[in-house]
């Protein structure tokens, strides 16, 4: 089984398109090299096409199954704490929304990072994560420059969802 020599903390944030897509691309690449990848999703209630494709590509995507949004966020953070030392790459997708809603705090994220082994990559995605930039080794801010949504084209199956 492959492993990383050095694991870092990455953030994909901003108001532009592509945060989850970037994390999925990283997950696909890591899986291709034999790394053990786990994607934990906050605020993804709908079944997405990536959930169908992931098993065929050797990726694991887990969503919460509790009754309330608060309980779902708690479940995802519990899983993150349990799994961070068991995987090579851990992705917390849509963490920004969970933080915006007050379900996850900066202290929760700091605690998770404290548990992160030196060889585990931790990837955080979602809007509004710039205040966590000081905790990360890499921060990418997606910024909309031009988007066909502004011309009235709504999200398209297979492209935006």
Q: What is the pLDDT of residues 47-64, one digit of tens each?
A: 788 888 999 999 999 999
Q: Percent of the chain beyond pLDDT 70?
A: 97
Global pTM reads: 0.94
Q: Which domains does the chain have, with CATH numbers?
A: 9-151 (3.40.50.300)
Tell me which residue has tokens 């990072």: 113
**Residues contacting 158, CB < 8 A, separation 6+:** 49
Across residues 24-48, what is the average pLDDT? Answer: 90
Phi, psi of 114 (to 5 degrees): -65, -30
Look at residue 23 in the predicted model and tell me its pLDDT. Answer: 98
What is the predicted pLDDT for the residue at 110?
Answer: 98
**Tens digits of per-residue pLDDT, 113-156?**
999 999 999 999 999 999 999 999 999 999 989 988 888 888 88
Residue 2, Cβ density class (10 Å: 0-12 exposed, 13-18 middle, ≥19 buried): exposed
pLDDT of residue 45: 64
Separation of alpha carbons 13 and 126, rounded Å:
5
Which of 123, 106, 101 has its CA nearest to residue 13? Answer: 123
The region that residue 91 occupies, defined by phi over 0 for left and psi between -120 and 50 for alpha, beta otherwise, is beta
* Alpha-carbon span 66 to 77, nearest angstrom: 13
């Amino acid at each position: 089984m492959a492993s990383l020599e050095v694991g870092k903390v990455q953030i994909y944030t901003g108001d532009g398109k592509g945060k989850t897509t970037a994390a999925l691309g990283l997950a696909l690449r890591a899986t291709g090299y034999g790394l053990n990848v786990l994607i934990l999703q906050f605020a993804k209630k709908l079944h997405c096409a990536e959930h169908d494709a992931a098993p065929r590509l050797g990726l694991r995507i887990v969503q919460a199954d509790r009754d309330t949004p608060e309980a779902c966020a708690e479940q995802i953070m519990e899983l993150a704490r349990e799994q961070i030392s068991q995987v090579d790459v851990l992705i917390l997708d849509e963490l920004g929304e969970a933080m915006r809603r007050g379900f996850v705090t900066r202290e929760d994220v700091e605690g998770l990072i404290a548990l992160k082994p030196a060889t585990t990559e931790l990837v955080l995605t979602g809007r509004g994560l710039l205040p966590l930039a000081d905790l990360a080794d890499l921060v990418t801010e997606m910024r909309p420059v031009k988007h066909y949504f502004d011309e009235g084209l709504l999200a398209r199956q297979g492209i935006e969802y």
